[in-house]
Amino acid sequence: MDINDLRGIHTLLVLVAFIGIVWWAYSANRRKANDEAANLPFADDEIDQRTREREKNTENKK
């Protein structure tokens, strides 16, 4: 067994790890978490909109 055999085994192990990570990330069990993460950039917009509505209602009451 020389260095090239070790490199081949290492490449195979890394490929298996990569496929495992991709399978885990796209599995059906992760769908909800992935959808929540995808919508995180828009969460600030919703908070901002609610704040603006509250300020608008407060100004209208005065």
The pLDDT of residue 26 is 92
DSSP-based three-state secondary structure for 31:
helix
Q: What is the mean pLDDT of each run of 10 residues along the chain (62 residues)?
A: 94 98 92 89 77 80 65
Q: Which residues contact 17 (CB under 8 A, 6 or more apart)?
A: none
The pLDDT of residue 20 is 97
The pLDDT of residue 49 is 79
Cα 62 to Cα 59: distance, rounded to the nearest angstrom:
5
Alpha helices in the chain (DSSP H): 3-25, 31-38, 40-61
CB atoms < 10 A from the CB of 21, how many? 10
The pLDDT of residue 62 is 61
